[in-house]
Structure 1
Amino acid sequence: MKFRLIQQQISHNTQSPIRVVEQTTGREVGWINRYLDREYVRRLADTSLCSYAYNLLHFVRWWESVHHTGDIRERDLTESTLLDYVKFQSSQQPRPSPSTINDRVAVADRAIHNEFPEAPCQIARGFHQAFLQRRPMGLGRPRMALSRMRVKVPKRNIVPLSVDEVARFWSSFRTTRDLAIVGLMLLQGLRSAEVLALNRDDVLPSEAQLRVRGKGNKFRFLPLAPETVQLLEHYLRLERPNPCSAALFVSLKGRARGARMTRAGFRSLFRHHRQTTKIQLANPHRFRHSFASDMIRAGMSLPALMQLMGHAGIQTTMIYVTVTPQDVYQQYARAVAQHIRPLPVTTS
């Protein structure tokens, strides 16, 4: 039995358009789709909903290989169910990244407990009781049982692109559309999904502002650098087809001319220029990291950078901060020069 993910027209506003079904019969995997419906009603972003569906698709394929069915029965769930799922992923070649394993297990845990609130898989009840016994006053936020199951994720240390690498990569682009896309990530720190979601009316050139829809459908307004304004104006005036969709960045040729640029087209664009310039680290998120590093070195505060990058908490912003020994030395020398005065000489 095989399973696949499909996207259908919405029949009513309580049903997710993304469904997981059996490959041959088209029969829905009920417990998965009921969970997707619940998340859809919560107005989860489409990208998150799709990510959850793919994670659950991976889980149900593993479940079927063990139990020979995609349906989950409560009597088949044990305290080691999700631990067995982690072991299975850890034995795969190539092995998924720790963050991928954790995401898959977290979504499977929520979907199973959405279907079977009393399910014994994991050790949720025992863990929470033990936690409250250690904290009799009930202070603090109880941690989820899943924290015991998490695979350790190595600390990310993303090295930003050098000035020379940015210049070489930048010079390989020829269209003003592509230059504007790179400019928004390099000079404004946008995520690739945020760039693709931009509409024409999100650009406010007279106010040098950009309206961005970030994660969780949260909007924020960003100041536009003069160079970015110029790139956008050149693209809108010289290359953007007329008529076309409401999207800001659209396909420039072929049958899809005027339609919103797709994620596949976006990835293909960067892949082509990485091959052309031989700069293998020039991926979209690396530009966002380079932007954050440049802002920190220019003296921007972390709270301000957090707002620019659309982070919900400052801990996420801290991931992008890379402090080298040279940075420490330069900032120390600057502080000494500004705030430390020589001691007065006393005469006896």
Structure 2
Amino acid sequence: MLAGEAAARFELVNEYLSHLLDRNYSPATVRAYGYDLLAFCRWLTEQDLNPEAVTTNVLLDYLKACREASVPGRPGPNVVTMDGQRVDRYAATTINRRLAAISGLFTFAGLRSPDAKNPVPRGREARWMVAGERSGMLAHTTRRRKPRSALRLREPKKLPVALSASDAATLVGSLRTWRDRAIAGLMLWCGLRSCEVLALDVKDVDIGGRWVTVTGKGAKQRRVPLDPDVASVIDVYLLAERPESTSERLFLVAKGPHRGQGLTPAGLRTIFRYHRELTGVRGGNPHAFRHTFGTVLAEAGVDLAVMQALLGHAHVDTTARYVHLAPAHVKAEFDAARERLRTQNR
């Protein structure tokens, strides 16, 4: 929530964030929107404007300011990426998320006052149907298409980056506690997100039946098969290493003043940062393990619907990105096609 001397001018923002919490939005989403709207309110204060005075032209000025702003702590304007983009600028995804937060704010204001005009212009529909949806084969996955704002920036479509087998083995091999090995195993061999791992309770893990009940984004639950090796590691952790605690969380802090409390995202990032520096595996962040799991499934030729269920994706389009990440599978199919052509031409 916004606080301070100028907070009274932006009471609408606090009401909107409370509205998102009431609608069961993720606390992480509400927190991100809060920071996005805080940046917008600070800019409005510099321009001596209130939310009621915001027009489309004002939004265009704000987006221009976002594109031209420098990010503190990054190298100067003389440092660019391989594609020529300056690294001291906000990414298009960051600016678009700020725009989404602002759009939601004024949509909420319209619910309160139907006569209020939304300064965020509506654009064309967000996405087209894929071929399978048009033909009916994937009709059950079709989402209602929503119009996006015409002010959105183009975002680069980047594929997830997976770890090589050697890098993954090196990083996992450097972990010294049963807890850390269990966490890495759940992400690498079961495909869980780091936030899903940290949210696990002891009762969510069925070691005998080898199932894990996972609560993913939007509080959606799914059951994921538990790898037998990971199940053994979790079993040892519960019997020999997990500290006594009243907390129901599976993974707890082992040392220090917070011993027995649930492991936090910051604590998990610290663990992986230490082992990245120790092993030299630069891409060894928690989410890279999940990307590696998805890539392995794609290379093994697992059905797309099964991959979607295992990874907990809301739509099959997200899962389909991993198919493009399977170079070994693609190369094998390419070589097989060439061999068939050569055989036919003989």
Bin of the TM-score, shorter chain as denominator length: 0.7 to 0.9
Q: Map Cα deviations across residues 72-96 of structure 1 (whole Å, 9 max, x no partner).
A: 22xx221223222221111012212
Q: Specify the alignment match of 1:216 in structure 2.
A: 218
**Change beyond 3 A, Cα 1:224–1:335:** farther
Q: Quote how far apart the aligned CAs of 1:159 are.
A: 3.1
CA distance in 2, matches of 1:205, 1:145: 45
Q: Map Cα deviations across residues 29-66 of structure 1 (whole Å, 9 max, x no partner).
A: 31111111221221222222222222212221222222
CA distance in 1, matches of 2:325, 2:269: 30
Match of 2:58 among 77, 81, 85: 81
Match of 2:251 among 249, 260, 265: 249
Q: Quote how far apart the aligned CAs of 1:266 are.
A: 1.0
Contact kept? 1:77, 1:120, Cα under 8 Å? no
**Change beyond 3 A, Cα 1:218–1:182:** same
Equivalent AA in structure 2 for residue 243 of structure 1: S
Which consecutive residues of structure 2, in runs of 5 or more, have no partner in the other structure?
71-87, 125-142
CA distance in 2, matches of 1:263, 1:336: 48
Q: Specify the alignment match of 1:106 in structure 2.
A: 100
- Helix, strand or coil at the partner of 1:211: strand
Q: Quote how far apart the aligned CAs of 1:189 are.
A: 0.9
Q: Quote how far apart the aligned CAs of 1:224 are.
A: 0.3
CA distance in 2, matches of 1:107, 1:168: 40
Contact kept? 1:295, 1:305, Cα under 8 Å? yes
Q: Specify the alignment match of 2:304 in structure 1.
A: 302
Q: Specify the alignment match of 1:281 in structure 2.
A: 283
Instruction: Report 1:155-304 matches (<5 A).
Output: 155-304=157-306
Which 10-residue stretch deviates more, 26-35 or 258-267?
26-35
Equivalent residues, number: 306
Q: Specify the alignment match of 2:74 in structure 1.
A: none
Which 10-residue stretch deviates more, 164-173 or 28-37?
28-37
Equivalent AA in structure 2 for residue 44 of structure 1: Y
CA distance in 2, matches of 1:239, 1:142: 49
Once superposed, what is the RMSD of the aligned Cα atoms?
2.6
Equivalent AA in structure 1 for residue 22 of structure 2: V
- Helix, strand or coil at the partner of 1:206: coil
Higher normalized contact order (CA 8 Å, seq sep 6+, divided by chain length): 2
**Change beyond 3 A, Cα 1:246–1:179:** same
Name the % identity.
35
Q: Map Cα deviations across residues 145-197 of structure 1 (whole Å, 9 max, x no partner).
A: 51x21111111133311111111111111000000011011001111111111
Q: Specify the alignment match of 1:64 in structure 2.
A: 45
Equivalent AA in structure 2 for residue 80 of structure 1: N
CA distance in 1, matches of 2:179, 2:9: 41
**Change beyond 3 A, Cα 1:262–1:142:** closer
- Helix, strand or coil at the partner of 2:222: strand
Contact kept? 1:77, 1:119, Cα under 8 Å? no
Q: Specify the alignment match of 2:90 in structure 1.
A: 96
> TM-score by structure 1 length?
0.81
Match of 1:51 among 17, 32, 39: 32
Q: Map Cα deviations across residues 120-144 of structure 1 (whole Å, 9 max, x no partner).
A: 51334xx68xxxxxxxxxxx96742
**Change beyond 3 A, Cα 1:28–1:230:** farther
Contact kept? 1:81, 1:122, Cα under 8 Å? no
Which consecutive residues of structure 1, in runs of 5 or more, have no partner in the other structure?
1-18, 129-139, 344-348
Q: Quote how far apart the aligned CAs of 1:228 are.
A: 0.9
